[in-house]
Amino acid sequence: MSCVTDLILIGTGIELSCDGKPTDLMQRINNYLTEHGDGPMVQVSQLAGGYKGMQAHVFLGAYNHFNTERFVEFLESLDDTRHTGLQLLAQEEGECKFTFIWESTAGRADNHLRTCHTVEYPGCDPRCRRGADR
Confidence of residue 3 (pLDDT cuts 50, 70, 90): very high
Please state the pTM of the whole predicted model: 0.75
Residue whose C-alpha is closest to residue 42's, from 61, 70, 18: 61
Report whether 16 contacts 43 (CB < 8 A).
yes
Per-residue pLDDT tens for 13-63? 566 555 656 678 888 999 999 999 999 999 998 899 999 988 888 999 999
**What's the CA gap between 7 and 4, in Å, rounded?**
10
| Bigger pLDDT: 20 vs 10 | 10
Confidence of residue 99 (pLDDT cuts 50, 70, 90): very high
Model pLDDT, residue 122: 47
The residue ranges of DSSP E strands in the chain, in sequence order, are 4-11, 42-43, 57-64, 86-92, 97-105, 108-111, 117-120
SS3 37: coil
**What's the CA gap between 36 and 32, in Å, rounded?**
6
Q: What phi and psi values does residue 63 have, to the nearest 5 degrees?
A: -135, 145
According to DSSP, the residues that pair with 91 across neighbouring strands are: 6
